[in-house]
Amino acid sequence: MTSSLRALSLIALVLMLLVPALPAQANPELDALIAENLDQIERPSRRTVGPLIEQIAATGPSGEAMLAAWTDRRLGLTDDGRVVIVTGDDMADAATGEAVAGADPKMLRPNSGVRGLIDSALVAGQISDPDRKIRVQALDSIARSGSEEHLVALRDAPPDPDPALQARKERLLTLLTIQYDSDPQARVAALKEMSGDVGLDFRGVLNPLLATRRIAATEAPGDANIAREIKPGSDELSREAAYDLLKSQELAQPRLTMAAQRDILIANIADDQVGGIPVADLGDPQARDRAYKALEAAGTVTPAATEAEAQEAIDAHRYYEVYAEPNPDVTEAAKARRRGRRCDWRR
């Protein structure tokens, strides 16, 4: 019901714009976009359709009308490659606004991922819509997938006459400020404002701020926002895990197990020697390592770390948890909120 109302009002708007001079109101920019992107319009994918939606929205009211029809599944494609907006029994060309008769369009059914993108593009114009239901939908859409543009749109929107919606708008504004504001102090202030809040939406914003990843380095990285240092061999970071981290950062070679080393050495026995070391001496692990090194140097085998080399490499590095969020003030404030919340909960 709502969507058809919204559609009707948009159609009415387009028609009003079109009435004074019909063909002159055609939107050549939109026409060109449609012609170039028919494939994308027919089979849109969430991953790739974003830029096209923005371009269509930027062509003005007829572009927005087309988007509104698209998300409502009232957009059809005719055999001759025209995109039409279907309203009840009537059809109009999306680009020219001219009525289309006698066509049997294939109706387009964008999936909910694509519709989410379209809705999000239409949101800015809907936050201050006179219809309360449309304003609610706009806020729902922002709550699901807020962006930097939504932050700007929310900030510029006039206060909502409905106090409940205004409260919701303010909450969304605070959440988006935490995520997207370019000023770190504004983000910190917004975080403080949410003190004691346990809402799922707030936790959904807070937790990504405090997400960390582990890195290994020879000294503390100056440009990273370090959460803390962890010692290898502790409960949190076993020496094995520390070595895996080194390998993943290509700071160390894959480790050579005793068994693999033995097999490789056996395979390379020549004249009772391996890499210049007599087979009789290979009972000693250090001699095996030397033999393997000689094979590595000769290029016979791929380089791999012996046990001793691996232990050495683990001790030569330090291990840190760093925040994905680069600003330390923001992560400090977020940490305080999380702590605060836990205290509240215990009480």
Partner 1 sequence: MKTITKLLMLTGAISLPPGAWAQEGEPIKIGVLHSLSGTMAISETTLKDTVLMMVEQQNAKGGVLGRPLEAVVVDPASDWPLFAEKARELLTVSEVDAIFGCWTSVSRKSVLPVIEELNGLLFYPVQYEGEESSKNVIYTGAAPNQQAIPAVEYMTEELGVEKWALLGTDYVYPRTTNNILESYLKDQGVAAGDIFVNYTPFGHSDWSKIVSDVVALGADGKKVGVVSTINGDANVGFYKELAAAGISADDIPVMAFSVGEEELSGLDTGNLVGHLAAWNYFQTAETDENAAFIEEWHKSTGDESRVTNDPMEATMLGFNLWVQAVEKAGSTETDAVLDAIVGLEVPNLTGSTATVLPNHHLTKPVLIGEIRDDGQFDIVSETDPVPGDAWTDFLPESAVLDADWPGKECGMFNTKTGSCVQVQSNY
Piece of 15-23, 34-42, 45-53, 56-64 that binds partner 1 (CB under 8 A): 45-53
Q: Which residues pair with 230 in a beta bridge?
A: 319
Piece of 6-14, 184-192, 196-204, 281-289 that binds partner 1 (CB under 8 A): 196-204
| Distance, first Cα to last Cα, the chain | 46
> Two tokens at 230?
């962890």
146: nearest Cα among 204, 68, 64, 61: 204
Residue from 50, 61, 105, 116 touching partner 1 (CB under 8 A): that is: 116
In the complex, the smallest distance separating the C-beta of residue 47 from partner 1, rounded to whole angstroms, is 6
Angstrom distance (rounded) from CA 180 to CA 183: 9
200 makes contact with partner 1 (CB under 8 A):
yes
Contact 113, 145 (CB under 8 A): no
| Alpha-carbon distances, residue 154 vs 124, 181, 202, 237, 325 (angstroms) | 8, 12, 17, 44, 24
In the complex, the smallest distance separating the C-beta of residue 168 from partner 1, rounded to whole angstroms, is 13
Site for partner 1 in 134-193 (CB under 8 A): 140, 144
Quick one: 210 or 336, whose CB is closer to partner 1? 210
* DSSP for 201-269, written as a single string: HHHHHHHHHT-EEEEEESS--TTS-EEEEE-TTSSSS-HHHHHHHHHHTTSSPPBPPHHHHHHHHHHT-
Site for partner 1 in 292-331 (CB under 8 A): none
Residue from 13, 46, 50, 273 touching partner 1 (CB under 8 A): that is: 46
- Residue-wise over 190-220: b if at least 16 C-beta within 10 A, else e? bbeebeebeeeebeebbeebbebebbbeeee
Query: With contacts defined by CB under 8 A, how many residues of the chain interact with partner 1?
Result: 20
207 makes contact with partner 1 (CB under 8 A):
yes
45 makes contact with partner 1 (CB under 8 A):
yes
Residue 158 CA, chain-centre distance (Å), reads 30
Q: Which residues pair with 273 in a beta bridge?
A: 270, 278
112 makes contact with partner 1 (CB under 8 A):
yes
Residue from 73, 214, 262, 293 touching partner 1 (CB under 8 A): that is: 73
Piece of 85-93, 106-114, 292-300, 307-315 that binds partner 1 (CB under 8 A): 106-114
Residue from 211, 266, 297, 298 touching partner 1 (CB under 8 A): that is: 211
In the complex, the smallest distance separating the C-beta of residue 283 from partner 1, rounded to whole angstroms, is 35
Site for partner 1 in 257-286 (CB under 8 A): none
Chain residues that interact with partner 1, rule: CB under 8 A: 45-47, 73, 109-114, 116, 140, 144, 200, 203-205, 207-208, 211
